Amino acid sequence: MAPTKAELQTQLRELNRGFPRMPVSKMKVHELEAAIDGMKKAKEHATTSLATKTPALPGPKGPREIQVEEVESGDVAIHVPQAPKKKEVAPKKEKKVKIATVDSEDEGPVSPLIPAHRSAAASKAKSEPTHYCNCPACPTKNKK
């Protein structure tokens, strides 16, 4: 006699423990039977594949081995640890900054950070200081 839908649902729920939940109550009888067969095959495969694996050793691996050199001082042997190998580090890469140049020579190079309309004004020579005295012979007075 074929098992009932409720029996298949309880059997699938028991097989499905420890796995992601499945909507068992919405499944039809043929879907329940297929899911039960699939779960049984998956569990058989898991137990056979786990039998071939060696279990991991418990606890930490312990300290690493340090190379020791034996040095004799008279009739006494002293064990001196050797320095570890130097770590090989790749050379640092430099960032390449491409500086755009302007065709006309009087404006000079354009910085990539400053817009072109500001770089022309910024690259010009420093403006002369403003002078407010009325000396006719003053050399720093603005010449207009």
10 Å CB burial of residue 8 (0-12, 13-18, 19+) is: buried
- Chain-centroid distance of CA 91 in Å reads 19
* Domain of residue 32, residue span: 5-51
Q: How many C-beta atoms lie closer than 10 Å to residue 82's C-beta?
A: 9
Q: What is the pLDDT of residue 29?
A: 94
Q: Confirm whether 31 is domain-assigned.
A: yes
21 belongs to a structural domain: yes
How many CA atoms, within 13 angstroms, populate the side-chain half-sphere of residue 123? 17
Please check whether residue 10 lies inside any domain of the structure. yes
pLDDT of residue 94: 84
- 5 touches 12 (CB < 8 A): no
How many separate domains does the chain show?
Answer: 1
**86's tokens:** 């130097």
The H or E element spanning position 72 is strand 68-73
Residues for the chain: how many in total? Answer: 144
Question: Would you state the pLDDT for residue 98?
Answer: 73
What pLDDT shows up at residue 141?
64
Alpha helices in 17-124 (DSSP H): 29-52, 116-123
Task: Confirm whether 22 is domain-assigned.
Answer: yes
Residue 109 lies in a domain: no
Give the residue from 10, 1, 71, 66 showing the smallest Cα distance to 36. 10
pLDDT of residue 123: 53
Percent of the chain with pLDDT over 90: 19
Whether 24 and 12 have beta carbons less than 8 Å apart is answered as yes
**Residue 78 within a domain:** no
Determine the pLDDT at residue 32.
Answer: 94
pLDDT for the residue numbered 65: 86
Q: Residue ranges of the chain with pLDDT lower than 70? A: 100-131, 140-144
